[in-house]
Amino acid sequence: MTPDDTAREGLSTSPAAYDARAAEYTELLGTMDAVAEDDRLLVEAWADRVDGVLADVGCGPAHWTAHLASLDHDVTGIEPVEEFVTHAHRTHPEVRVKSGSFQTLPVAAFNGILGWYSIIHTPPVEMPALLERAHQALRPGGSLLLGFFASDQLEAFDHAVTTAWYWPVDELAGVMTAARFTVVDRGTRQDPGARWHGWIEAVRD
């Protein structure tokens, strides 16, 4: 089995893998208390710059969705893992959370899409198609903010749940440019005891 085959297998089984560990994930990472302050400020600033409807795609337990809604943003959480959707409905009943993924997004429905660590299990060969779906789901001038694990080289690693990928920031930015996005901001950060973190903000052409 090639590395790409392994990654595809990881992607296809990731919702089931997360279903099996949803309670553990939610307890460890499913609240804003677990979010780094720098991340909170970055995402809040991005959301404030977006004028219109937001989608939090791959929202997990929907803590980001609920947080953005509490700041008066019109936001919908979209999540493929049913255990997370159930948790979100129970914990944040006032927040819109739906089953789905990048592949199920409606066309021209959003002004901003947040993909905060929701692309990490996507094999590189499938990233152009995912970004094309994001492009289609955004209205003209819409904004996409991605958070991901950064590295100096593109490579798979053994994530606690299933296969994930490190991306060099410039390489992922290039894939986004090829998908007709204009990159307006990018960066990395290394927190003590954590993997190298990257983010890219881009606007739909």
Q: What is the pLDDT of residues 51-80, one digit of tens each?
A: 999 999 999 999 999 999 999 999 999 999
Close Cβ partners of 162 (under 8 Å, ≥ 6 residues apart): 10, 11, 13, 14, 17, 121
The secondary structure of residue 34, as a DSSP letter, is: G
Which one is the CATH code of 3-204: 3.40.120.10, 3.40.50.150, 3.80.10.10, 3.30.70.20? 3.40.50.150
Alpha carbon distances (Å) from 167 to 68, 83, 131, 158: 27, 28, 15, 14
User: For the chain, which residues make up each domain, given as ranges?
Assistant: 3-204
pLDDT of 49 higher than 50: yes
44 near 72, Cβ under 8 Å? Answer: no
pLDDT for position 180: 98
Rounded Cα–Cα distance for residues 93 and 14 (Å): 25
Query: Given this model, what pLDDT does residue 27 score?
Result: 52
Supply the pLDDT for residue 29.
58
Judging by beta carbons within 10 Å of its beta carbon (0-12, 13-18, 19+), is residue 72 exposed, middle or buried? exposed
7 closest CA partner among 189, 158, 187:
158
3-state class (DSSP) for residue 152: coil
Phi, psi of 201 (to 5 degrees): -110, 130
Q: What is the pLDDT of residues 148-179, one digit of tens each?
A: 999 999 999 987 667 899 999 999 999 999 99
Please state, for a pLDDT cut of 90, what percent of the chain lies above it: 76
Average pLDDT over residues 34-63: 96
Among 7-21, 82-96, 162-176, the least confident range = 7-21
Q: What is the Cα–Cα distance from 178 to 202, expressed in whole angstroms?
A: 12
